[in-house]
Amino acid sequence: MRNISQFTEKLRLSGLRPTKQRISICEALFDRNDTFHFTINDLTKILKRKVNKKISIATVYNTVHAFKNKGYLKQISINSDKSYFDTNVSEHHHFFDEDMNKLIDLENEYLDKIKIKKKIPGKKIKSVEVLVKVVNNK
Amino acid sequence: MRNISQFTEKLRLSGLRPTKQRISICEALFDRNDTFHFTINDLTKILKRKVNKKISIATVYNTVHAFKNKGYLKQISINSDKSYFDTNVSEHHHFFDEDMNKLIDLENEYLDKIKIKKKIPGKKIKSVEVLVKVVNNK
DNA sequence: TTACCTGCAAAGAGTTTGCAGGTAG
DNA sequence: CTACCTGCAAACTCTTTGCAGGTAA
């Protein structure tokens, strides 16, 4: 219950109206202890389970994009037909489990700082992402 | 001309029949000095320009997937609506130019070896990919 | 009241599939 | 001759868009 007012305020502060739908999505995404990796489809299923009234897919897409633009979500690069998002917006990397189609955080502390010794003229680095693909052992 | 017979043999050796279409696609992809990054759409346009008879999209997809499975092409992880492929199948990394939507090779020599100091139980590492997103400077 | 938000359905992009006809070996 | 390959269109999946009606401030 306390969280709902937190979400309301957070939304208001970022210039997003705290509608019922957005608050439900906040609860699904941010009311947890661990970081959460998901596709739109995953999120839709969770919402279907948790919310009595159905939230339209268009609204889910709109909200996820709004949250991404506000910096509350990060989109992860994977070659997949779907987009993956992460509630952990700190600088970090990922494992991708190809058997489970699941992302796992790889915190910065588990690898040395990456130094890129090549420059592209006229370009500056925006981000460096490491994706470690893993498969079942054996 | 010499290349055509090379491609024919390469295809035959991998158990793929050297059809006209596949040889044309080989020429478009592999008859170059530098490595080549492309989407299916890029490849289709090149084929339209170079080949007198049109190659069906289904065949282009089939062939690209066959080549990928044979290890002649690599698929690159980017969060994009399209799939990107690379004729450079050696272990290396990429820049992604977000203004041009273009991939640029980042050879291994330009970064230190990446050591992952975290293990996922029951899983083994299949690949480590670094994607450096760049944008226009200024 | 007004600007913003939601939900639906339709449209759009990329990719895959089913199948009839064609071709390599 | 037979297995494999191609081309077309239809189907499918994910995502975006247009718009009428609803809601927050």
Give the model's pLDDT for residue B100. 93
* pLDDT of B1 higher than 60: no
For B15-21, what is the mean pLDDT?
Answer: 96
Residues B102 and B118: beta-carbon distance below 8 Å: no
Token code pair at residue A75 = 């989109």
Is strand C less than 7 A from the beta carbon of A16?
Answer: yes
The residue lying closest to nucleotide C23, measuring its CA against C1', is B19
Binding-site residues on chain B for chain A (CB distance < 8 A): 75-79, 83-84, 95, 97-98, 104, 106-107, 109-112, 114-118, 120, 122-137
Judge residue A22's burial from the number of C-beta atoms within 10 Å of its C-beta, 0-12 exposed, 13-18 middle, 19 or more buried. Answer: buried
* pLDDT of A1 higher than 80: no
B137–A131 CB contact, under 8 Å: no
The pTM of this model reads 0.93
Q: Using N-to-C axis directions, what is the helix angle for A2-13 and A20-30, rounded to 10°?
A: 110
Q: What is the pLDDT of residues A83-111, one digit of tens each?
A: 999 999 999 999 999 999 999 999 999 99
Strand ranges (E), chain B: 37-38, 74-76, 84-86, 93-97, 102-106, 123-136
* pLDDT of B96 higher than 80: yes
The DSSP symbol for A88 reads: -
Give the model's pLDDT for residue B52. 80
The DSSP symbol for B121 reads: T
Give the residues across from A114 on adjacent strands: none
Backbone phi and psi for residue A83, each to the nearest 5 degrees, phi listed first? -95, 135
B116–A133 CB contact, under 8 Å: no
Give the model's pLDDT for residue B53. 85
Is strand C less than 7 A from the beta carbon of B101?
Answer: no
Nearest to A131 among B77, B104, B122 (CB): B77
Nearest alpha-carbon partner for A38 in A2, A70, A68, A6: A68
A137–B117 CB contact, under 8 Å: no
Nearest nt to B11, CA vs C1'? Answer: C24
C-alpha to C-alpha distance for B55 and B62, rounded to whole angstroms: 11
Nearest alpha-carbon partner for A94 in A82, A85, A110, A106: A106
Nearest CA in chain A to B130: A130
Backbone phi and psi for residue A15, each to the nearest 5 degrees, phi listed first? 80, 20
Give the model's pLDDT for residue B86. 98
C-alpha to C-alpha distance for A122 and A63, rounded to whole angstroms: 34
Q: What is the pLDDT of residues A36-56, one digit of tens each?
A: 999 999 999 999 999 888 999
Q: What is the pLDDT of residues B44-57, one digit of tens each?
A: 999 999 988 899 99
Instruction: Round the average pLDDT of chain B to a whole number and report it.
Output: 95
Chain B residues 15-44 within 7 Å (CB) of strand D: 16-17, 19, 21-22
Q: From the CA of B45, how many Å to the nearest CA of chain A?
A: 22
A84–B84 CB contact, under 8 Å: no
Give the model's pLDDT for residue B2. 60
Nearest alpha-carbon partner for B97 in B41, B14, B37: B37
The DSSP symbol for B88 reads: -
Q: Which chain A residues are Cβ-neighbours of B83 within 8 angstroms?
A: 79
Backbone phi and psi for residue B38, each to the nearest 5 degrees, phi listed first? -155, 160
User: Half-sphere exposure of residue A21, counting CA atoms within 13 Å on the CB side?
Assistant: 17
C-alpha to C-alpha distance for A50 and A9, rounded to whole angstroms: 22
